[in-house]
Amino acid sequence: RLYDKYNQQGLEVLGFPCNQFGKQEKGENADIKEFCESQFSVSFPMFAKVDVNGTNAEPLFKYLSTNKKGFMGTEAIKWNFSKFLVDREGNIVGRFGSLDDPNSLENDIKGLL
């Protein structure tokens, strides 16, 4: 619920579904958005499905993964629910994997607001 708690102070969360990991996002964009809202109470913006790795990767994810390497210096995003923390100036402050609890980022987020 970090988005709801800190959105008025400037926090933005952007959701980008991706079907590159186990084909978990098979549905249409509207169906994915509805599922996320009903099952996870998502209230932040959800975008259309994108590729995050490879030659067809969305430029945003090419930029993020190239400029903030992951575990052991890898650029590739390893799984759904990977997270990037970006400050107000567009600097990539952190990169977090799918197993990192978003709530563990709260102190970092508060420090940037």
At residue 25, the pLDDT reads 74
At residue 98, the pLDDT reads 92
At residue 101, the pLDDT reads 94
Q: Locate tokens 């209230």: which residue?
A: 43
CATH of the domain at 73: 3.40.30.10
Q: Which two tokens stand for residue 82?
A: 């990977």
Q: Which domain holds residue 17?
A: 2-112
Numbers of helices and strands, H then E, in the chain = 4, 2
User: How many distinct structural domains can be found in the chain?
Assistant: 1
The Cα–Cα gap between 43 and 58 comes to 23
* 10-residue averages of pLDDT along the chain (113 residues): 95 95 82 91 94 96 94 87 96 95 96 96
The Cα–Cα gap between 90 and 98 comes to 22
Question: CA–CA distance from 34 to each of 14, 31, 39, 87 (Å)?
Answer: 15, 5, 8, 29
